Amino acid sequence: MSHGNRFLFKNGVVSPAADTPSVAGFLEAHPGAYTTTRTHKNGSELLFWERHLLRLSNSFRLLLKENPRLLFEKPITLSTAFLELSNRAMMWDSVIRSLVNDSMRKVVPFVEKERIFGEELAITAHLSGNLENLDHLKGGFDEGKISEVLDVYLHIGGYAPPVFGVRGSAAHLAVVGRGRDSANAKYSDWVRLRKPLEKLRPPSVNELLLSNDGEQILEGCLTNFFVVCLKEKDGDGHTVEQKQPQSLRCIEVQTAPLSDGVLPGVIRQVIRDICLKIGIPFREVAPSWSKRELWMEAFITTFEFYSMLRQSKLLNHGNQWNQILGRRSHGSRNDFRTVLAGLHQCYRWRL
């Protein structure tokens, strides 16, 4: 599989190669909840696979309850079958994990045969509702029948991890629009909705930030946004404990809280967990542009950031293909203690 090749599977069945769109084209054309991860170590590991499955399940469950039109390709009718499905109490996490892993087991042998040695893969798992099958079933759902009303898509393509630490690789950011609706779920319609924002992108900018008031920065269109800043003293935005940080006590990492309307990104949670584990002060508050004189550095997180941590041997956390296939595999030990030392190498915005 070359970097330009890609494959699309629906419920474990591969689509003709000529009909496979880019991942952005696929998402724009198919409503649903989705998540995207990467492989590592010559395609042998899936990064944070269990976390991604949990987010996919959470996104699907939230959309089904609050905004089901984002899950189905046809207009929603409040049929008895749909109402029963949306109100059904079941273990969605285990059901969705089982469905997606079953599809993965079917496609892995095919992908491994096509993959070039040393090539990494980008994998998007997408979950949508099938209204036609839903209406035919006429209700009476149990966990065994759920697979008939859900479609699992896997979009897989070659991926070239970026090289970090290269001079001039810092991110260029611009604030261009308001926060997302239904931000606590990751859904494919956002690819279409953000197109008007993309038209406002200045030529040198590689990520667009969202803010409801131009002051509190929420997140990026594709990333979460963080700042490393000097702590305020007694709530006075113009007084800090030290002009230059003497210890971790003098600084904190800030990012907007989920309650402000940001995506619960997988890497966002990883950064939070790392900070709390090794004692770096972490505060969930939207970074304020008016207090930017306190910022030492700002950075955005994506799976490219995670790849940087792995390249630097600062973190080791992934699921091997063997685990997805149900084969025995030895686990790996996480090393969080020096991970934040690599923050300055990620996509960053130096002030």
Per-residue pLDDT, 156? 95
CA distance 263 to 268: 9
Per-residue pLDDT, 313? 36
CA distance 241 to 251: 9
Per-residue pLDDT, 263? 92
Q: Report pLDDT digits (tens) over 198-246.
A: 988 888 888 899 999 999 999 999 889 999 999 887 555 444 545 555 5
CA distance 65 to 182: 11
Half-sphere exposure of 177 (CA within 13 A, CB side): 16
Tell me the three state secondary structure of residue 48: coil
Per-residue pLDDT, 89? 57
Per-residue pLDDT, 125? 97
**Which residue ranges of the chain lie beneath pLDDT 70?**
1-4, 74-90, 133-144, 161-170, 234-248, 303-351
Going along the chain from its start, the domains and CATH numbers come out as 6-159 (3.30.470), 225-350 (no CATH)
**Model pTM score:** 0.80
* Residue owning tokens 């004189």: 293
Q: Report pLDDT digits (tens) over 247-266.
A: 667 889 999 999 999 999 99
Residue 164 DSSP class: P
